[in-house]
Amino acid sequence: MRYIDTGARNATHALGDWMASLKPEDIRHLRWQSGYFGSDGLAPMLPLIQGLASQGLPISCVLGSNGGETGQKDIEVLVDLIGCPRADARIGILSYTSGLFHPKVYHVTRQDGSRTAYVGSANLTLAGVTGLNVEVGVILDTHDGDPVPPLDEISASIDSWFDGTRPNVETVRSLTDIPPLVAKGVLGVPPAPRRPRPASSGSGGGAAGIGLKPLVKFPPLPSKSTATAPGSPATPVSTKSPGTAPVAPVAPAAVALPSAPLSPFPPYILLAPGAAAPTSGTAALTGSTLPGGATGL
């Protein structure tokens, strides 16, 4: 058993560092449950997920959408990466009217039958896996002599979300299952704006004015044009002039994302409330209309 704590600001204590250390060729089953989820949190497990999907090996994941705030595009990316629809790719979504789905557990079974798992506080989000947040957890591994029964209890607990005995599990088997969940408010609900915390004016060395940085970094997920439900119209491609590379426009979504000015930026620069880390590439596009008809980048 190993205790990890990113409060020490040690990169080897980041959840993503452990995830990236897992060798895809050694793994035969990946399971996880996470209270909060963003597709960019998948980056450290990308080789593992792609390896399992290419061989048709099982991936079982249970995700919270607390307040319905898990993004539609994040689930579309997950569906695409794990290869849905297929029998051994399972996604469960939990969203309650009161109380939260709040576990953070990641479990793998190796080809040789050994098991390892992380149990702790880190969600499968970019801030959670990179060590931007202060997170703690323990890593169990039968290779290190940890007992098998607790690791079997972890895998059985995750599997039980799919055996029909637990209520209110929304199962996503393909892209076509996602729009109904958005319509029901289980996915894609814009988060409530949060007030920015005022900067500390004191000199007592308190934590109010201290910022954290990620301990580890990972390449962004590859963009996929296949994350579109069957039957949806293809996104048109426009060109500026002969010899100019085609540009695919971003179609605005029906719901406007919350945005707000933030000091010391000018009032015409609007920011996403609650954003915890920078985004880049296609992940930086909101895909939704902001006030004035602008699209966020």
pLDDT given at position 210: 82
pLDDT given at position 257: 45
What whole-number distance in Å separates Cα of residue 59 and Cα of residue 57?
7
Question: What H or E segment, with its residue span, contains residue 171?
Answer: strand 170-172
Domains of the chain with bracketed CATH:
2-183 (3.30.870.10), 250-297 (no CATH)
Q: What is the dihedral of CA 178, 184, 186, 188, to 10 degrees?
A: 70
What whole-number distance in Å separates Cα of residue 94 and Cα of residue 85?
20
Q: Over 60: is that where the pLDDT of 179 sits?
A: yes
Give the tens place of pLDDT for each residue, 31-69. 999 999 999 999 999 999 999 999 999 999 999 999 999
Give the tens place of pLDDT for each residue, 134-175. 999 999 999 999 999 999 999 999 999 999 888 889 999 999
Please, which residues have CB within 8 angstroms of residue 1's CB and are 6 or more apart in sequence? 138, 139, 140, 141, 144, 146
Give the tens place of pLDDT for each residue, 212-258. 999 999 999 987 644 334 333 333 333 333 343 443 443 433 334 45
* Average pLDDT score, the chain: 82
| Beta bridge partners of residue 105, listed in sequence order | 33, 119
77: its two tokens: 């990316």
